[in-house]
């Protein structure tokens, strides 16, 4: 399920039509806090505020070539994937429908509608929204736009390629895992460039399906995925993503809600960047392993910055407990 170097190069050419490379910075205050040389990949600076837009553009281009008469697409999302779909669909003059669970981020919902999507609320979590979107695709004669696919992996691998070309001697890269396209993109770029960096997956303690699956070597669904880091709120792993993670990742670790909230604050204090929960997870994971990673050159993927204002203000007002 990984993309090869040619596929990533082709994806890069298409992505460049819509966005410039995002920055990767080694922030001195953050590195001082971490006791290591920390390189942050700033996917919060993409046109949708998250890395997902890269994959959406590649999948939509492929869909148009495979099915030129496609009238519309539908997907399930917690927000960043939906913004990606809406952005790419609008660029291709195709209608988009996104299904989100009840209680989803109001600001992500607003952003998806602003990019042109029809928004439907259904279900208590992502997986229930996913099942509903699949049935709606049939009933409304829409093309289902998946959350994990080889085209998505090739697209998001472009950010990892940028990071590794700018910092080729990274010893490790921490990357958050939702459904898995991000970590598979990092694994793809690492292998394509022959990098020796360890790739460490990060999940929320309250949404541990990939960590449990990593430990057992097979799919382990969970009953809930109750985390403020909505980009990590997945209950059922994708088998193709899991296979790639088992084959290529160094480990998968869990981070608590408090650890991610603290990392959101550290990003603000040390870099003045706006970061959502999933985007802070990789920094939280590094800090959990700070003692064993001391002095190393490490990449952390800031996957997105789409956090509701009220949630962000609450987090900033808290005192760090970790």
Instruction: Convert the pLDDT of each residue in 58-90 to its tens digit.
Output: 999 999 999 999 989 999 999 999 999 999 999
What domains can you pick out in the chain, each with its CATH number? 5-51+150-317 (3.40.50.1100), 52-144 (3.40.50.1100)
Given a cut of 90, whether residue 127 has pLDDT beyond it is no
Sheet of 172-176, strand order: 24-25, 37-42, 297-302, 172-176, 198-204, 251-255
Q: For all residues of the chain together, what is the average pLDDT?
A: 96
What is the pLDDT at residue 188? 98
Per DSSP bridges, beta strands 95-100 and 72-76 are parallel
What tokens were used for 54?
């890269």
Tell me what the mean pLDDT of segment 138-143 comes to.
Answer: 96
What tokens were used for 15?
């992505």
Alpha carbons 19 and 197: distance in angstroms, whole number = 26
CB contact at 8 A, 155 and 56? yes
Per DSSP bridges, beta strands 143-144 and 118-121 are unpaired
CB atoms within 10 A of CB 41: 27
C-alpha closest to that of 127 among 234, 240, 239, 237: 234
């Amino acid at each position: 399920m990984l993309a090869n170097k040619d596929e990533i190069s082709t994806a890069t050419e298409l992505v460049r039509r819509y966005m410039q490379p995002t920055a990767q910075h080694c922030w001195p205050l953050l590195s001082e806090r971490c006791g290591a040389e920390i390189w942050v990949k700033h996917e919060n600076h993409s046109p949708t505020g998250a890395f997902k837009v890269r994959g959406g553009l590649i999948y939509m281009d492929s869909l148009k070539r495979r099915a030129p008469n496609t009238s519309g697409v539908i997907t399930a999302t917690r927000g960043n994937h939906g913004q990606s779909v809406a952005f790419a669909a609008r660029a291709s003059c195709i209608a988009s429908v996104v299904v989100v669970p009840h209680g989803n981020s109001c600001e992500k919902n607003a952003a998806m509608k602003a990019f042109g999507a029809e928004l439907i609320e259904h279900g208590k979590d992502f997986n229930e929204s996913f099942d509903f979107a699949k049935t709606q695709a049939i009933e409304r004669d829409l093309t289902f736009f998946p959350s994990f696919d080889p085209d998505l992996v090739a697209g998001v691998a472009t950010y990892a390629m940028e990071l590794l070309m700018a910092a080729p001697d990274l010893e490790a890269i921490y990357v958050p895992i939702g459904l898995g396209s991000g970590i598979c993109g990092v694994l793809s770029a690492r292998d394509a460039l022959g990098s020796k960096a360890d790739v460490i997956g990060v999940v929320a303690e309250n949404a541990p399906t990939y960590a449990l699956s990593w430990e057992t070597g097979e799919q382990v669904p969970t009953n809930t995925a109750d985390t403020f880091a909505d980009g990590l709120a997945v209950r059922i792993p994708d088998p193709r993503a899991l296979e790639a993670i088992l084959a290529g990742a160094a480990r998968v670790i869990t981070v608590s809600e408090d650890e991610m909230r603290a990392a959101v604050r550290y990003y603000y204090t040390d870099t003045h960047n706006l970061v959502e929960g999933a985007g802070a997870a990789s920094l939280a994971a590094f800090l959990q392993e700070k003692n064993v990673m001391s002095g190393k050159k490490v990449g952390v993927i800031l996957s997105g910055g789409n956090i509701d204002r009220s949630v962000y203000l609450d987090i900033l007002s808290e005192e760090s407990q970790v």
